[in-house]
Amino acid sequence: MAPNAKPPVAKLMDFGKYKYEAAVKARESRKNQTNTVLKEVRFRLKIDTHDYETKVGHAKRFLGAGDKVKAMIQFRGREQQRPEMGVRLLERFANDVAEVGAVESSPRVDGRNMVMVVGPLKNKAEAKAEARRQKQRDEAKAENERKAKDKVDTSSAEPVTQSIGDAFPAELRERAGQAEEPVQQPEPEVQESAPAPEAPETAQPAAPEVVEVAEAPAPEPEVVEAPEPEVAEAPAPKAAETPAPKAAPKPPAPKAPRPGPKPGAKPGPQA
């Protein structure tokens, strides 16, 4: 780190990692590096107006991208004796591209040609950044227009009803509306009769006033209801329980008689 110091200062590090980081930095610097390219635009001294405008459009695009433009006029035959016409044409070209470039080298004769170099007002990096921002703005504008187009306008939408009559044709609906309209019959004219003569009003005697006397309401007798006697309910008699009949004992089964001695057999000794 400091070889000339006393004592010298050194740093222990991984050399493989150091080489990798150096390669990454070099790659990044090459990525951001911009190389200016010299573009060439050729004219003829008798160029037409539309061809000239096309050449100017190409030159503006090159200068806007950060490249230099070399404008060259080719002289043929006797045109070489009128170089001032070439100078006027190049000056006109420089004025037309003045908004994006400036003249770096004035017109000069190079053999049978006349050359002028125009440089961009912005360098390559600035031109790329501006083109990138313009592209992003264009994409955002297109996206907004697409969303606005896909959006449904509900301000002018017709009300939706659940009537089946909306599915009918307009002619049938008009006929149905005409049939429902009531027919207005003319009203009979009433003849106005002559007004009857009014009888003279006669003064009527006033009726005597009658004074109403409010009568006191008679007291209503109170009726006391006698309590109903409570009747004690006698318990229902229980049914007498009768013992269940017992089953009769089974008679003993008769014993089978013992067989008698066989004839001709000797009686054995009795125990």
For residue 134, is it within any domain?
no
- 14-23, 88-97, 230-239: which range is least confident on average? 230-239
Look up the CATH number of the domain holding residue 41.
Answer: 3.30.110.10
Q: Which residues pair with 103 in a beta bridge?
A: 118
Is residue 137 assigned to a domain?
no
Domain presence at residue 214: no
Residue pLDDT, tens place only, 88-130: 999 999 999 999 889 998 899 888 899 999 998 887 777 778 8
Measured between alpha carbons, how far is 166 from 139 in angstroms, rounded to an integer? 43
Cα 209 versus chain centre, distance: 87
Determine the Cα–Cα distance for residues 219 and 26; give it in Å rounded to an integer. 124
**Quick one: which of 70, 40, 71, 62 has its CA closest to 120?**
62
For CA atoms 162, 168, 169, 170, give the dihedral sign. Answer: negative
Domain that holds residue 42: 36-122
Q: Residue 184 falls within a domain, yes or no?
A: no
Question: In a 10 Å sphere around its CB, with 0-12 CB exposed, 13-18 middle and 19+ buried, how is residue 63 labelled?
Answer: buried
Give the residue with greater pLDDT, 30 vs 159. 30
Residue 144 maps to a domain: no
Strand 113-120 and strand 68-74: the pairing is antiparallel
Q: Is residue 90 part of a domain?
A: yes
pLDDT > 80? residue 34: no
Least confident stretch, 53-57, 239-243, 244-248:
239-243
Tokens of 205: 């005697």
pLDDT of residue 70: 93
How high is the mean pLDDT of the chain? Answer: 75
Report the C-alpha gap between 191 and 179 in whole angstroms.
34
Q: What angle do CA 110, 112, 113 make, to 5 degrees?
A: 55
- Structural domains of the chain, count: 1
Of 61, 65, 67, the closest CA to residue 39 belongs to: 67
Segment 187-210 shows an average pLDDT of 55
Is residue 60 within 8 Å of residue 39, measured between CB atoms?
Answer: no
Is residue 105 domain-resident?
A: yes
Q: Is the distance from CB of 117 to CB of 107 less than 8 angstroms?
A: no
Task: Evaluate whether residue 211 is within a structural domain.
Answer: no
